[in-house]
Amino acid sequence: MTSKLMKMIIMGPPGSGKGTISSRIVRDFGLKYIACGDLLRHEIEAKTVIGLKAKQFIDHGNLVPDEVTTGLIQNELKSKYFSCSWLLDGFPRTVKQADSLTKIVTIDTAINLDVPEEEILTRLTGRMVHIASGRIYHNTYNPPKRAGLDDVTGEKLVVRNDDEPDVVKKRLKSYYEQTAPVLNYYRNRNLLIEFQGTRSDEIYPRVKKYLQQLFESRHN
């Protein structure tokens, strides 16, 4: 049996469960996880030039421009992830980004999570966070013991700017408008596989079965 490096993309709107599905893929298949959002947040926290540019767009519910994210991702892939298998989350979001990625790496598959918009709105607009610890609560799925207060410290929970209802709706609109062509980009190259559902526990078994078959076919 010969081993082949696997390069995969996972897509889906904000709140679609990409983080949960991705963590299970990484756990079960031994991939490195590359999250564009985490990379951008690191740049924002460090107050780099890229970070300051990105923050202006994120705070207003817009996608970060191509030139910002493309440069960041290309540098990461070339410097840290050239010789390993990985799962890329949050990139590409435009056809231009997809083209730039194709020029430097061969993608094996693109996974898309198709979750109904009403489910996503329920998930995202109910989130609250304890800033100091990062603990996340949800009005419906994981409510605090006392409304609006952290279970451990009793400190006030806050709704992040990008979880406000109006911002969430704007983010989703931007996502669907800009990302639909990317789905077609990978669909036309026979690389796209889509999974529909409302719960990660419902979706992941099908994702796992597909990837097991893909790994077996590519590693023989």
17 marked as part of a ligand binding site = yes
**Is 146 a residue of the active site?**
no
137 marked as part of a ligand binding site = yes
160 marked as part of a ligand binding site = yes
Determine which one of 127, 170, 187, 218 is catalytic: 127
AA identity, residue 101 = L
Distance separating alpha carbons of residues 60 and 14, to the nearest angstrom? 15
**Is 160 a residue of the active site?**
yes
Determine which one of 7, 78, 80, 93 is catalytic: 93
DSSP 8-class letter at 132: T
**Is 18 a residue of the active site?**
yes
**Is 4 a residue of the active site?**
no
127 marked as part of a ligand binding site = yes
Three-class secondary structure assignment of 88-130 = EECCCCCHHHHHHHHCCCCCCEEEEEECCHHHHHHHHHCEEEC
Determine which one of 160, 169, 189, 206 is catalytic: 160
Dihedral angle computed from the Cα positions of residues 122, 199, 69 and 171, in that order, rounded to the nearest 10 degrees: -20
82 marked as part of a ligand binding site = no
74 marked as part of a ligand binding site = no
**Is 171 a residue of the active site?**
yes
Distance separating alpha carbons of residues 45 and 135, to the nearest angstrom? 18
Specify burial of residue 218 (Cβ count, 10 A radius: 0-12, 13-18, 19+).
Answer: middle
Distance separating alpha carbons of residues 166 and 34, to the nearest angstrom? 28
| DSSP helix/strand/coil, 22 | helix
213 marked as part of a ligand binding site = no
18 marked as part of a ligand binding site = yes
212 marked as part of a ligand binding site = no
136 marked as part of a ligand binding site = yes
148 marked as part of a ligand binding site = no
Q: Tokens representing 130?
A: 């304890």
Binding positions: 15-20, 41, 62-64, 90-93, 97, 127, 136-137, 160, 171, 200
Catalytic residue IDs = 18, 93, 127, 160, 171
Binding positions for AMP: 41, 62-64, 90-93, 97, 160, 171
Binding positions for GTP: 15-20, 127, 136-137, 200
